[in-house]
Structure 1
Amino acid sequence: MSSGKGAGDENFPVGSLLISRRLRPHVHAYYDFARVIDDIVDTDRLSAEAKIARLDAMEDVVLGRRQAPLRRDAQTAVRVGRTLAATGVPVTTATDLIVAFRRDAVKSRYESWEELVAYCRYSANPVGRFLLLLHGEDAASLPLSDALCTSLQVLNHLQDCASDLRVLDRCYLPLPWLAREGAVLEDLGACRASPGLRRVFDALLDRVDELNAEAARLPSLVRDRRMRLESAVIVGLARRLAARLRREDPLAGRVKLTRGDVAGAVLGALRVLP
């Protein structure tokens, strides 16, 4: 359960040792595909039109509508297509990611919380759905997984708000929220958050806390013991990162989890699991 960011950007790596050895290759195939299509949309060497064309081609390969070229990145679409065919996990768990990245190619500003949540529905939620369905979990667990994945994506946006604007000219903070607090986009270029920007961060974290409270019920619905532990650990990590972002300033330096946070989340998960 995570967003489709590169490995170095992940707070909660996909395919941890908690996932069974039998399923791990499928998880890695999915993750490699997600990372490649994310790299396509984030490069500064392609126009928006070229990015969309590349993403369309990757989708065609996943769906079996065209043969992939021999390039290593294109072969990730072949492998994820084979994984989905072999496991019976819906192909939308891969193609929905492409919907989000097409959006990133042309959209760089957000006007509301609802618009941001709609983006997360494609950019993050498919990852949790893939993991749960790969483990044969019931559909009743999916809305709680969506809450967790949306929380993780918003937390990542808060961590990277300065670099997203500086490097990608992309801002996921709702613009009317900035205006309401007397903040402007240029505030993200400062070395520390202005009072108004801090209030926007905290307002987003209020929404994240609501999502995490909802997601806390997820482990109790997961039948697979390994996946239950994985989901409980990630819920704990999401809560700990949200708390860090309350206390620390993402403009002053990247706010990230510590080894102590990870150990605490694991111990917390072990205490609550049957």
Structure 2
Amino acid sequence: MVDEVLSDRASDDAIDVSRSIQRETGVTFHVATRFLPERVRVPTYVLYAFFREADEIVDDPDPPAPEIRRERLAKMRAAAHGDRPPESPVLDAFGDLSDRHGFTERDIEAFFDAMARDVDPSDFADYDALDEYLRGSAVAVGNMMCAVMDRDDPETLDHARALAEAFQLTNFLRDVREDVVDFDRVYLPESALAAEGLTPDDVRRLADSPALRAVIRSELRRTERRYRHGVDGIANLPDDCQFAVLAAAVLYAEHHRLIRAQSCDVVSSRPTLSMPRRLWVVAKTRLSWSRHGDPRTVFDRVSAVPAAPEDSPPGGLRSRLADLSRAIATRSRRVLSRLGVRSSDDR
């Protein structure tokens, strides 16, 4: 089956290495990836390993001079575009995926531009600057995943953009302390900090304060709006991919529960999901999925993200009607898909 997913260019060794990289360095994502069908699961291993190889150039624990890291990124960028021979089995496998699924030069460029920015980090002035960074570090990744799932319609890509951004923003909130200590980076925009009388240097001092907690609470809410919009598009994905993506969303959002349990103090310690907690989150998501079969309904019921206010009026009647409406729409799309008919929502 693997030879139907990747050509002979991608050796079994490349796939094994990619799987190991994801299992060891991206445990939360690895748990969700295992629920994907093989035709998507194997490419996902390769994509993750490819992104990780770039990360390791930028985030080397014993980093060489910036010009050396920029040179290594430039070589990897050229190989990703097919302009020079790949220097690793993972990069070769990525090239095969790119040829098969038509990854765009724009997405590849955006990704490497974001990586290059991290070599010489500077603070983000505002949300526009942060969103530009997310275009490469998150949205390009989501676009490639959609390509592997054979989904490229504008609606699905719009929802995928929001979900990819939400994942990355959660990472930023979880890793505030680690990013300062290890890389001297602050991903909280200056404008958001200034609203509470803070600067990026205040974050670098790793001093907890009511003002910083207020910023984190605000950023949690902003990120959660993107989760809701992103999850609304999961129903557009292939049936056998939906649960895996939903599980990833619920798992990543679980960090928000941990952050709130720490009263939004993210500079004293890093909130971390234990493996038993990950498995519990997946189990309750699976149970709810078996009962409801609609991504947004399940997400609202089991995730750490509060339902949108308009979905939770007094008495909950509108919420239940919304759940029912979404479930009917999702099941209708599945029936039409099995019959080979595209719904009006897909056109």
1:1-274 matches, cutoff 5 A:
7-9=24-26, 11-13=28-30, 16-43=33-60, 44-69=62-87, 74-139=88-153, 140-184=155-199, 185-190=201-206, 193-222=208-237, 224-248=238-262, 249-257=265-273, 258-259=277-278, 260-273=280-293, 274=331
- Contact 2:259 2:266 (8 Å CA) reproduced: yes
* AA matched with 2:288: G
SS at match of 1:183: coil
**Aligned-pair CA distance for 1:91:** 4.9
Q: TM-score, normalised by structure 1?
A: 0.86
What are the Cα deviations for residues 103-136 of structure 1, in whole angstroms up to 9, with x where unaligned?
A: 1112231111221122111101222222221111
* Unmatched 5+ stretches in structure 2: 1-21, 294-330, 332-347
Distance 2:77 2:56 in 1: 15
Matched residues in 1 for 2:121 and 2:69: separation? 13
1:58 is aligned with what amino acid? M
TM-score normalized by the length of structure 2: 0.69
CA distance in 2, matches of 1:227, 1:86: 19
Higher relative contact order (CA 8 A, sep 6+): 1
Secondary structure of 2:197's aligned partner: coil
Q: 1:67 and 1:80 mapped to 2: Cα distance?
A: 12
Question: How big is the shift at 1:168?
Answer: 0.4
Structure 1 distance, partners of 2:210, 2:182, is 24
**Counterpart code for 2:121:** K
Q: Corresponding residue for 2:5?
A: none
Comparing 168-177 and 93-102, the one that deviates more:
93-102
Superposition CA RMSD, Å? 2.5
List per-residue Cα deviations over 1:73-130 (Å, max 9, x = no partner).
x442222011211333435444432121011112231111221122111101222222
CA distance in 1, matches of 2:246, 2:291: 10
Q: For residue 53 of structure 1, report the CA deviation from its aligned partner.
A: 1.3
Supply the distance in 2 between the matched residues of 1:119 and 1:64 (Cα, whole angstroms).
24
CA distance in 1, matches of 2:270, 2:133: 23
Q: Is the Cα–Cα contact under 8 Å of residues 42 and 168 in structure 1 kept in the other structure?
A: yes
Percent sequence identity over aligned pairs: 25
230-239 vs 7-16, greater mean Cα deviation: 7-16
Residues 45-93 of structure 1 deviation map (CA, whole Å, 9 limit, x = unaligned): 2222222211111111122211234xxxx44222201121133343544
DSSP 3-state at the match of 1:232? helix
Structure 1 stretches lacking a partner, 5+ long: none
Contact 1:152 1:238 survives alignment (8 Å): yes
Q: Which moved more, 1:136-145 or 1:198-207?
A: 136-145
Aligned residues, how many? Answer: 265
Q: Which amino acid aligns with 2:259?
A: L
Provide closer, same or farther for how the CA distance between residues 126 and 13 of structure 1 changes in structure 2, counting only shifts above 3 A.
farther
Secondary structure of the corresponding residue to residue 13 of structure 1: helix
Whether the aligned pair in 1 keeps the contact of 2:169 and 2:223 (CA below 8 Å) is yes
User: Once the two structures are superposed, what CA deviation does each residue of 1:10-43 show, in whole Å capped at 9, x if it has no partner?
Assistant: 5333872222223333222221111000010112
For 1:255, the aligned partner's letter is P
Q: Is 2:54–2:73's contact at 8 Å kept on the other side of the alignment?
A: yes
Q: Shift in Å at residue 233 of structure 1?
A: 1.9
**SS state at 2:118 partner:** helix
Q: How far, CA to CA, are the matches of 1:163 and 1:16 in structure 2?
A: 25
